[in-house]
Structure 1
Amino acid sequence: MRCYAAISIVLVHLIALPKLQIPGYLWFVPTHFGNGVPLFYIVSAFGLFVGYSGRIGTRQELREFYLRRFLRIAPLFYFIMLFYIPFCRAMWGTTIPLSQFVSSALFVFNFVPNHVTGFVMASWSIGVEMAFYAILPLLVFAITGLARSLVFLAVAVFLAANWGLAFQGTEGALALFAHFSLMAYLFYFAAGIAGYYVWLRIRRTSPRIGRIVFAASLLAIVGLIFFASQIAAFFGTILGQGGSSGVKTAWAVTLASAVVGVSLHPQRWFVNPAAKLLGNASFSIYLWHPVVIMILDRLGLYRVIYACFDGASLPFLASVIATFVALIPLSLLSYRYIERPGMALGARFSVLRPA
């Protein structure tokens, strides 16, 4: 699932950053593939509850949990932060303010309105993820069943809707803070937690229903894409200005259902060696892809490709291939030599073994 989330985000930014022309039949990519980030959040919450539910009960286990999470994110993120110092100067002639560098290094930038987006491109989601890690032990302790997880999901949706309304009409740093804060995305994590308890209940009774759940979730995704305006109008009629929260909640439940379906009954065409490999390296793919896209754009590769073909279909396909040809080897290298050593270090100093 992380593989497909990463690919969808790369496609969105490949269109947005160099402003590539796309064929008309791919209209849904820039409008809906951004849901790859919420999918990351859902998978993260689901996986962490699979590994740690009922297994963080002492101070030592709590300390080890935070150590493992820190060493999962920090090594590559710190490497990217250092890379951005010469990268920003070479690309735009800019320097990174010390205060912003420090807030990113301490992983507190999600709580600072002027820093919430991060100076590393697309790193705002890392700030959200680390803020979720901070409260996860409390959630593991408090949410111990399906009923509680559904209550937490409902509360998180309510808070997100009111959070958005509270900042309605704001501009600049405050508007960005409202959009990129943990509060605005907490319900996606809540959907992943609820999905965990649904998965836990179904796998003990009828795991083969996973195929039906996954197929139904795929159909629901298609429906959410092709009937987006009608669904938005429906929630707008019921919820008024909070209608967008209803649409986002529908996406959260649908994506969580897909995660549950895959976990119960992995489809060979979907869960394959390539997807597993890229899923393992998805964090590297996520952090490196804006750099690769910006460099290729600066070198003029996309302009050359579009000049060589007529229309939009072939040049866009060629641009996608060229981007992944550069991105995947780089991501696999950073996963092998930066991410994995960090995870191994966390395991070395820990006696807590995730299930």
Structure 2
Amino acid sequence: MRSRPHYGERFRMTERRERLYFLDDGRGIAVLYVVIFHIVFVPAIQYPRPAKVFLEFGGSGVILFFLISAFSLCYTMPKHLSHEYPMLSYAVARLFRILPLYYFMLLLTIWRDWVWRDMTFDWSKILATTVFAFNFNPQWVTGIVWASWTIGVEMPFYLLFPLLYFRLRTIWQKIIVAILAAWAVYAFDQYVIQLISDPILARRYSHYNLLHHFPVFVIGMIAFDVYQYVKTKNFDRSTGWLISCVGLSLVWMMALNKYTKTSFEMDHLTAIGYATLLIGLSISPISIFSNSITRFYAKICYSTYLWHPFVIFALSPTYRVIYAMPISLWLKLGACIALTLPVVTAVAWCSFHLIEKRGDRMGKIFLKWASDRRRAVPAPVE
């Protein structure tokens, strides 16, 4: 009887996986930017004209999330491959990271809409939302849980990622795939989206579908390869600052492009800008981005993201009270942000400890149980 081979031996790490704090910085920046964006645009409050470009581009924080997601998957995949059952390890890590809080929010949303808004959802939509298939239906693409369209994009990508990881072995292969995917997005918008008769639905699905964001994920994988190269070099701090400035400049150019409403695709170029910023921060942290605040919000970013629309909606009457006060528009906006962030933070912190951390522990217990069970099955006699 031959002993079962350890699949992960070929991939076993020779170095300890250290935490990449610049990714935490990016997560913190992304979630704070999205929260501020929604504080303004969910209740549609007024804002000072000089802040227009910055505020209206806040939705791009989601692009940074997607980019970091692909980057971190590349970084952590060798750890899963060193496990006796690599794909099981990968799946458990992803599912138990996402599912507990997401399903809690799904049940909460269905209950809230039934009790407080006299709304019910079709069972087919609930099923599609439960199994993360809702991104493929234009009518359901936004999901049931507020802001959960991003999870509808992330989960199918998690399914695709191992194939991409094993097939795209060089940075040039990834660059080619990113370019081809960008052209596929253009073709999809030109020939498929046009088949949707409702222009509002067509515009929404054009932005929220998985294909639209697929090049962003691939750019995140490319950024990881660039980081692998950069970390072997002894670049000085000024080089890191210069790279960060180049990345920020590209992101700001895309923000101005959105403001002027020109026609070329922004999200993929924005992803390149954010990727460049991350590479710069990996060389030389910048205190305005790399600090205890961004790293704190990185820890609770998932709970912050899923809970903040609920909090903003609940506080909307208070925003109206603030905006009725005889103070400047800057003070009104600042007061709304100052009111919202502590509430969102408190709720997200509780959610992180009560749901996310327990989900992570459940995942580790399940992985150990599944591994022990599979290991107990005798190998076939040859």
On whether the aligned pair clears a TM of 0.5, the verdict is yes
Match of residue 295, structure 1, among 279, 296, 314: 314
- The residue that corresponds to 1:257 in the other structure is 276
Is 1:46–1:193's contact at 8 Å kept on the other side of the alignment?
yes
Is 2:88–2:367's contact at 8 Å kept on the other side of the alignment?
no
Alpha-carbon distance between aligned partners in 1 of 2:254 and 2:207, rounded to the nearest angstrom: 22
- The residue that corresponds to 2:304 in the other structure is 285
- The residue that corresponds to 1:333 in the other structure is 350
Q: Give the drift of 1:265.
A: 2.8
Deviates more, 1:85-94 or 1:21-30: 85-94
- The residue that corresponds to 1:324 in the other structure is 341
TM-score normalised by length of structure 1: 0.88
Equivalent residue runs for 1:6-155 within 5 Å: 6-52=31-77, 56=81, 60-155=85-180
Describe the superposition over 1:213-242 as per-residue Cα deviations: whole angstroms up to 9, x where unpaired: 112212332333346567x75xxxxxxxxx
Alpha-carbon distance between aligned partners in 2 of 1:193 and 1:333, rounded to the nearest angstrom: 32
- The residue that corresponds to 2:323 in the other structure is 306
Match of residue 217, structure 1, among 242, 247, 250: 247
Q: CA, structure 1 residues 97+55, in 2 after alignment: closer, same or farther (shift >3 Å)?
A: same
Describe the superposition over 1:193-226 as per-residue Cα deviations: whole angstroms up to 9, x where unpaired: 1101111111112344433211221233233334
Is 2:249–2:273's contact at 8 Å kept on the other side of the alignment?
no
TM-score normalised by length of structure 2: 0.82
Describe the superposition over 1:296-336 as per-residue Cα deviations: whole angstroms up to 9, x where unpaired: 11xx2011111123331111110111111211100011011
- The residue that corresponds to 1:161 in the other structure is 186
Is 1:288–1:331's contact at 8 Å kept on the other side of the alignment?
yes
Describe the superposition over 1:80-128 as per-residue Cα deviations: whole angstroms up to 9, x where unpaired: 0111123213442212222222211111211233222101111111100
Segments of 5+ residues of structure 2 without an aligned counterpart are: 1-25, 372-382
Match of residue 2, structure 1, among 4, 13, 27: 27
Q: Give the drift of 1:59.
A: 8.9
Number of aligned positions between the proteins: 339
Alpha-carbon distance between aligned partners in 1 of 2:77 and 2:257, rounded to the nearest angstrom: 38
Segments of 5+ residues of structure 1 without an aligned counterpart are: 234-242
Is 1:54–1:141's contact at 8 Å kept on the other side of the alignment?
no
Is 1:71–1:345's contact at 8 Å kept on the other side of the alignment?
yes
Deviates more, 1:58-67 or 1:193-202: 58-67
Describe the superposition over 1:155-196 as per-residue Cα deviations: whole angstroms up to 9, x where unpaired: 221111111112136344555433311101101111111101
| C-alpha RMSD of matched pairs (Å) | 2.3
Give the AA of the match of 1:283: Y
Deviates more, 1:340-349 or 1:145-154: 340-349
Secondary structure of the residue aligned to 1:68 is: helix
Alpha-carbon distance between aligned partners in 2 of 1:116 and 1:86, rounded to the nearest angstrom: 20
Q: CA, structure 1 residues 291+85, in 2 after alignment: closer, same or farther (shift >3 Å)?
A: same
Is 2:153–2:210's contact at 8 Å kept on the other side of the alignment?
yes
Determine what percentage of the aligned residue pairs are the same residue: 27
- The residue that corresponds to 2:214 in the other structure is 186
Alpha-carbon distance between aligned partners in 2 of 1:66 and 1:76, rounded to the nearest angstrom: 16
Deviates more, 1:218-227 or 1:111-120: 218-227
Secondary structure of the residue aligned to 2:324 is: helix
Give the AA of the match of 2:165: V
Q: CA, structure 1 residues 143+265, in 2 after alignment: closer, same or farther (shift >3 Å)?
A: farther
Alpha-carbon distance between aligned partners in 1 of 2:357 and 2:34, rounded to the nearest angstrom: 23
- The residue that corresponds to 1:244 in the other structure is 264
Secondary structure of the residue aligned to 2:286 is: coil
Q: CA, structure 1 residues 275+115, in 2 after alignment: closer, same or farther (shift >3 Å)?
A: same
Give the AA of the match of 1:61: P
Q: Give the drift of 1:339.
A: 0.8
Alpha-carbon distance between aligned partners in 2 of 1:55 and 1:68, rounded to the nearest angstrom: 9
Is 2:71–2:221's contact at 8 Å kept on the other side of the alignment?
yes
